[in-house]
Amino acid sequence: MKLKSIFTNGVGILASRILGFVRDMLMASVLGVNIFSDIFAIAFKIPNLFRRIFGEGAFVQSFMPSFVASKNKGVFATAIVLRFLLFIILASLLVNLFAPYLTKTIAIGFDDATIALASPLVAINFWYLDLIFLVTFLATLLQYKEHFATTAFSTTLLNISMISALIIYAKESPQMIVYGLSISVVVGGVLQLIAHLIAIKRFGLDKLLIGGWRYRAKKDIKDDTKKFNSQFFPAIIGSSTAQISAFLDTMMASFLITGSISYLYYANRVFQLPLALFAIATATALFPTISKAIKNSDETKAYQNLSKAFWILSFTLGFSLIGGVVFSEAIIWLLFERGEFSSIDTIESAKVLMAYMVGLLPFGLAKLFSLFLYASHKQGRAAIISSISLVINLIFSLILMRYIGAMGLALASSIGGWILFILTIREVGFDKFKVIIYSKYSIYFILSMSGFIVISIWINSIIKGFI
């Protein structure tokens, strides 16, 4: 495992998330928490949902092992990208034609007038999916070359585009602001694609794709594409637990008080920072190494890398979990409470953040251990595990939202995360997990977490005097 790759990913993600928070701070100040912020959250969530499930999730987890194993990499890669791109363009056209129906599916609780306001924004934002699929495909090729910087930093371009739109349209009507934001999402996608095309050229991968296009009629990739297809569809389910959970949260939150969708959005944005900064950065850097090691039947190397990554994540996510729970109100106050975002919005968002943070550690570690399932072509097992987790999440969502509203939806998501982690560990092997746990680091982990809890509570008591 190359710590340099993890560091590069982490720094890039951190830069992107900092700009993302600047974007959200501006959006909270300009829009506040109202029907227009809810509408944009819905419109932006739809392409991101499909991106994370079909693109960054299932596609990468199925494509990377198949690409590593393929003897005709250029032909295989070209065949796959053309097939997917055609499907996604067709889907985007259908969404633009039937945007009201898709919007109603996501936000069942919205009335007809609100659906009419949201539908055009959904149609505009969905084109981001086409662009980001190409970005994801090119990023996977760059990962194979163990180049992560371009992908890690490229999301900053999306945030810069959206920040620019917020500044330009700040004094316009709320409806004009969300239209400007939607257009800026597509512009950001174009910029991300250009950045990846430049990197592909720099690493000479353009020749591989051009060669694949010229000789795409070869029959000797039939087995590769067949194997990819058999892995991709189970991987859609296996990689989609958190995304479908967020989708269900949004759908059910539309039945709650106005602003509930926005509370979930802002709290989830904070929750996603440590998850992306540590878990996703580590998993992304580790996946090519794991895939190559398992292909070469070198499980010893694979598990050595897993053990190192496990303790890195345990400490970083553990500190983040405690900090997120203890300082939840202070974090939301610092980031968002200004302009139209009130103190009541801060309190409600902080409650949701606390509930989300309970699931930070299991979601992050489950992502790490699931690499072995995908690299070993066990996408079907991962799909079953995710399905069980999702059903439990849904059951708890329906129960808890009746009593604690949006906070209940976030807590149900965390419960689903713990189920996902336990079942993933069982599939990988409790014996292998025990070998990792029975380490000197376990004592260090317990002592450091205990100490951090005491210090955090003390510091938070001081901070509350200033909020």
Q: How far apart are CA 347 and CA 263, in angstroms?
A: 10
DSSP string, 292-355: HHHHTT-HHHHHHHHHHHHHHHHHHHHHHHHHHHHTHHHHHHHHH-STT--HHHHHHHHHHHHH
For the chain, first and last CA: distance in Å? 43
Burial (CB < 10 A; 0-12, 13-18, 19+), residue 21, is middle
Q: How far apart are CA 183 and CA 192, in angstroms?
A: 15
Predicted pLDDT of residue 28: 79
Report helix, strand or coil for 166.
helix
Quick one: CA dihedral 422, 426, 431, 436, positive or negative?
negative
Q: How many CB atoms lie within 10 A of CB 168?
A: 12
Predicted pLDDT of residue 98: 87
Q: How far apart are CA 436 and CA 400, in angstroms?
A: 35
Residue with tokens 């596609």: 59
Predicted pLDDT of residue 318: 93
Q: What is the per-residue burial (b if ≥16 Cβ within 10 Å, else e) of 103-129?
A: bbebbeebeeebbebbbbbbbbbbbbb
Predicted pLDDT of residue 249: 79
Predicted pLDDT of residue 250: 74
Amino acid at 51: R
Predicted pLDDT of residue 129: 87
Residue with tokens 């009130």: 342
pLDDT in tens, 148-165: 788 888 889 999 999 999
Which residue from 402, 332, 467 is spatially nearest to 33, judged by alpha carbons?
Answer: 332
- Domain boundaries, given as residue ranges, for the chain: 3-463
Q: pLDDT averaged over consecutive 10-residue blocks of the chain (467 residues)?
A: 66 81 83 79 76 63 74 79 86 87 75 83 89 88 83 88 91 87 94 94 81 55 69 66 72 80 86 83 74 71 78 91 92 82 87 94 87 74 85 92 91 93 89 83 90 91 74
Predicted pLDDT of residue 319: 94
Predicted pLDDT of residue 53: 62
Predicted pLDDT of residue 293: 73
Q: How far apart are CA 423 and CA 85, in angstroms?
A: 34
